[in-house]
A and B are shown apart, each in its own frame.
Chain A
Amino acid sequence: MSIPAHLDPQVKEHAARVLAGMREFAASMIYAAVLTDDGFEVADYSDGRTDASRMASMSSSVQALSDAVARELRIGTAEYVIIASDQGHVLQRRVPGQPLVLAALFDTYETLGKAIAVSKMGAQRMAHSPASEPGPAPAPTAVPEPAPADPAPIVAAVPPRDETTPRSIYAPPVSASGW
Chain B
Amino acid sequence: MAEHVILFTGPMGAGKTTAIEKLSEIDVVRTEAANTERQVADKATTTVALDYGEIVLDDQDKVRLYGIPGQRRFDFMWTILKERAKGMVLLVHNDADDPIGRAVEYLDEFADLYAKGGVVIGITRIDIAPGPSVTDYAAALAVAHPDKIVPIYTVDPRQRDQMRTLLMTLVANIETRDMFVERVPQREELVAE
Verify that A and B bind, or say they do not. Answer: yes
Chain A interface (Cβ within 8 Å of chain B)?
1, 4-6, 36-40, 53-54, 57-58, 60-65, 67-68, 72, 99
Verify if B73 is at the interface (C-beta below 8 Å from A).
yes
Q: A39-B73, A65-B50 are in contact. List 10 more A-B contacts (CB 8 A).
A: A5-B36, A39-B48, A54-B76, A57-B48, A57-B74, A57-B76, A58-B76, A60-B33, A60-B48, A61-B48
Q: What's the minimum C-beta distance from A78 to chain B, rounded to whole angstroms?
A: 12
A-B pairs, top 4 by smallest CB distance, nearest first, are A64-B31, A37-B33, A4-B36, A61-B49
Q: What's the minimum C-beta distance from A80 to chain B, rounded to whole angstroms?
A: 17
Question: Nearest chain-B residue to A101 (Cβ)?
Answer: B33
Question: Nearest chain-B residue to A56 (Cβ)?
Answer: B73
Evaluate contact between A38 and B30: CB separation under 8 angstroms: no
Size category of the B interface is 20 to 34
Can you pick out 21 interface pairs between chain A and chain B where the beta carbons lie within 8 Å of each other? Answer: A36-B33, A36-B36, A37-B36, A39-B33, A39-B48, A40-B36, A53-B73, A54-B76, A61-B31, A61-B48, A61-B49, A62-B49, A64-B31, A64-B33, A64-B48, A64-B49, A65-B49, A68-B29, A72-B29, A99-B34, A99-B36
Evaluate contact between B30 and A61: CB separation under 8 angstroms: no
Report whether over half of chain B's contact residues are helix, strand or loop; otherwise say mixed: loop
Task: Provide the residues of chain A in CB contact with B34, threshold 8 Å.
Answer: 36-38, 99
Interface centre among A1, A5, A36 (most CB of B within 10 A): A36
Verify if B17 is at the interface (C-beta below 8 Å from A).
no
Question: Nearest chain-B residue to A58 (Cβ)?
Answer: B76
Chain B interface (Cβ within 8 Å of chain A)?
29-38, 46, 48-50, 69, 71, 73-74, 76-77
Interface centre among A6, A39, A53, A72 (most CB of B within 10 A): A39
Question: Nearest chain-A residue to B72 (Cβ)?
Answer: A57
A61-B36 CB under 8 A given contacts A37-B48, A38-B48, A68-B30 = no
Candidates A38, A53, A57, A72; contact of B36 at CB < 8 Å: A38
A60 to B74, CA, bound (A): 9
Interface centre among B29, B36, B46 (most CB of A within 10 A): B36
A72 to B31, CA, bound (A): 12
